[in-house]
Amino acid sequence: MTLMDAPKFDVSRERRNRNLLITGIVIAVLAAVSVGSWAVEIPWQIWHWPADHRVNNFLATVESGDLQRAFGLWNNDPDWQQHPDQYKAYGFADFQKDWGAASDYGVIKSHNIVVAHRVGNGVVMGVNINGGKTPIFLRVDNKTKTIGFSPVELYLGP
């Protein structure tokens, strides 16, 4: 074949090659964004892991129905029954009203931490209870490791 006998230009083949190139670039960009956002989120998940773990343990204990042990986790005091006078401000009776079967949530069967951020000297996290749409906000104090209701509500986005 000589230079003058070049093959005819194939429009469909060029269109297919261009579309494959564009598709490959789009897939590569989406993969880079996915990996980048995953890599950015990992340090924050590790940073809040102790508080997440504490709240998960607390809520798993509430789900199991062991409210006395859950109250000990709430106050970071497993021997709270030896000195209940220390917890008069928010005693076990109040705790049962908030977390027992007669609470606003009923029997708690599941939970999901949807957001967690460091606020002051603690971590505030939003937790969906029983698949609810509106989370409750709990706070874990970094120093005392106690759990409490947070006065701060975190923005969950649109």
Residue 4 clears pLDDT 80, i.e. is over it: no
How confident is the model at residue 99, as a pLDDT? 95
Each domain of the chain, given as residue ranges in start order, spans 10-44, 48-149
Q: Please choose, from the candidates 95, 98, 101, 92, the residue with its C-alpha nearest in 3D space to the C-alpha of residue 64.
A: 101
DSSP per-residue codes, the chain: --GGGPPPP-HHHHHHHHHHHHHHHHHHHHHHHHHHHHHHHHHHHHHTHHHHHHHHHHHHHHHHT-HHHHHHHHTT-TTGGG-GGGGSTT-HHHHHHHHSTTSTT-S---EEEEEEEEETTEEEEEEEETT-SS-EEEEEETTT--EEE-S-------
Q: Give tens-digit pLDDT for 5-42.
A: 777 888 999 999 999 999 999 999 999 888 877 666 66
Alpha carbons within 13 A on the beta-carbon side of 82? 3
Q: Give tens-digit pLDDT for 59-115.
A: 999 999 999 999 999 999 999 999 989 999 999 999 999 999 998 888 999 999 988
